[in-house]
């Protein structure tokens, strides 16, 4: 396991076409002129594998027993990071009030859990995973993200390791300069924008 150079991480995002410009409706409901498209990385194992190894390296001495990721891309990340750490992966699926473990998955009380996710904007999916850990009496070791577009602000008080940290301007739809200028809106992502 080895850490990647930050310049190499940014280049991997660029090479994969994962850093987009335009006019985007984010899953948070906000608008932005830039977007990190995780699936351009997820579909490229040669780009993603070193990133998963890097995340595992950052938490190698933390006593992680479980790696938890939210559906959809978080499943792939959790599996691969758990593989590098030699531990068990768990997958958080949408439920009526947040996320839950399904399909017979469990984590014992006291389990040391690392949460992994793809792109962090508001932190909603990660907080839903944190709720699973807390409800089960687990011990949150930290959170690892491929790309943090909050500039490190979305999860204060939590150990957060992000491979790429950027801060993109976001706008409420009613104050969005791109909307005002008539730039066509794209709605990427997997969670419905509010």
Going from N- to C-terminal start, the domains of the chain cover 6-180
Cα–Cα dist 105/126, whole Å:
18
pLDDT in tens, 98-142: 999 999 999 999 999 999 999 888 889 999 999 999 999 999 999
Q: Report pLDDT for 1.
A: 57
Q: Give tens-digit pLDDT for 142-153.
A: 999 999 988 888
Are 136 and 154 in contact by the 8 Å Cβ rule? The answer is no
Whether pTM exceeds 0.85: yes
CATH class name, domain 6-180: alpha beta
Question: What tokens were used for 11?
Answer: 């280049």
Let me know: does 15 contact 37? Beta carbons within 8 Å: no
Strand partners of residue 160: 143
Q: How confident is the model at residue 191 (pLDDT cuts 50, 70, 90)?
A: low
Instruction: Give the β-pairing of 66-70 and 112-120.
Output: parallel
**pLDDT in the model for residue 60:** 96
Q: Give per-residue pLDDT as tens, 26-69.
A: 877 889 999 888 889 999 999 999 999 999 999 999 999 999 99
């Amino acid at each position: 396991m080895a850490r990647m150079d930050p310049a190499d991480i940014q280049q991997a995002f660029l090479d994969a076409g994962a850093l987009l410009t335009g006019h985007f409706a984010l899953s948070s409901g906000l608008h932005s002129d830039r977007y990190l498209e995780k699936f351009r990385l997820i579909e490229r194992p040669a780009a993603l594998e070193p990133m998963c190894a890097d995340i595992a390296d950052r938490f190698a001495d933390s006593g992680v027993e479980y790696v938890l990721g939210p559906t959809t891309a978080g499943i792939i990340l959790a599996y691969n990071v758990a593989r590098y750490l030699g531990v068990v992966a768990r997958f958080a699926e949408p439920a009526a009030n947040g996320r839950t473990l399904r399909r017979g998955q469990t984590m014992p009380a006291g389990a040391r859990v690392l949460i992994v996710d793809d792109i962090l904007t508001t932190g909603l999916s990660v907080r839903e995973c944190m709720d699973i850990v807390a409800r089960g009496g687990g011990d949150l070791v930290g959170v690892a993200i491929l790309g943090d577009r909050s500039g490190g602000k979305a999860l204060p008080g939590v150990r957060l390791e992000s491979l790429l940290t950027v801060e993109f301007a976001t706008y409420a739809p009613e104050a969005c300069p791109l909307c005002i200028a008539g730039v066509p809106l794209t709605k990427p992502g997997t969670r419905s924008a509010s």
